[in-house]
Amino acid sequence: MKKAVNIVFAIVALLLASCNSMIPQTRFKLALHQVVSEAERDNANSSLIVTARSIDGSKKRMIRSFPMIDSRHILKIDVLRQDKGNRAALKIYFDDFAPGLWSEVQSVGGKLEVAMIVDGFISGFMELPRELDADGALVTPPLWSLAEARLIAENVQRNYKIINKR
């Protein structure tokens, strides 16, 4: 009897594990987190701020734990080769959320630095431009290898669909 219970339990565990693996998961999810200014650090709720370092460890900043923008609002990404093809920048196209965000960026009046994060790892930092380009897109610095940039771009539409179904 005990052996039969163990077999049933094992079968149920396998079924649950396989069901969970069938739920689509995001891959190469891009997020932009606002860097917290020095003036804000003293007054901000510490649970909403985390210390972040670039992958190479060269830059350290305090950032907001929740993203300003993430794959929830990114419709398309073009890969822009830089440095003879070794590095790549991204040209990010947003959904209808972007105009409201950029009016907020303009109202801040100063520089707005963000951490560029892929799947929880910081690729680097950039200052947001006050305006999007003529296509309504944001062009990043060349923070990624060409292969990584292509994977981010290839997964953006899939991630958008997964996140916005929830």
Domain count, the chain: 1
For residue 38, is it within any domain?
A: yes
By DSSP bridging, strand 60-64 and strand 30-34 are unpaired
pLDDT for res 166: 55
For residue 4, is it within any domain?
A: no
For residue 94, is it within any domain?
A: yes
For residue 31, is it within any domain?
A: yes
Query: Which residues span the domain enclosing 80?
Result: 27-165
For residue 12, is it within any domain?
A: no
Q: Provide φ and ψ at 44, rounded to 5°.
A: -80, 155
Radius of gyration of the chain (CA): 20
pLDDT for res 22: 65
Distance CA 74, CA 123 (A): 17
Residue 97 is given by DSSP the state T
pLDDT for res 58: 73
pLDDT, tens digit only, all 166 positions of the chain: 667 666 766 666 666 655 555 678 888 999 999 888 776 766 656 667 777 766 677 777 888 888 888 999 999 999 998 877 789 999 999 988 777 777 777 776 667 889 999 988 889 899 988 888 888 899 999 999 999 999 999 999 999 999 888 5
For residue 110, is it within any domain?
A: yes
For residue 10, is it within any domain?
A: no
**Burial category of 107 from C-beta neighbours within 10 Å (exposed 0-12, middle 13-18, buried 19 and up):** exposed
C-alpha dihedral (95, 98, 99, 105), degrees to nearest 10: 180
Q: CATH no. for residue 72? A: 3.30.1360.200
pLDDT for res 82: 84
The number of CA neighbours under 13 Å toward the Cβ of 65 is 7
pLDDT for res 61: 81
pLDDT for res 31: 93
* C-alpha distance from residue 16 to each of 12, 85, 109, 129 (Å): 6, 44, 51, 46
For residue 8, is it within any domain?
A: no
**CB distance 30 to 154 below 8 Å:** no
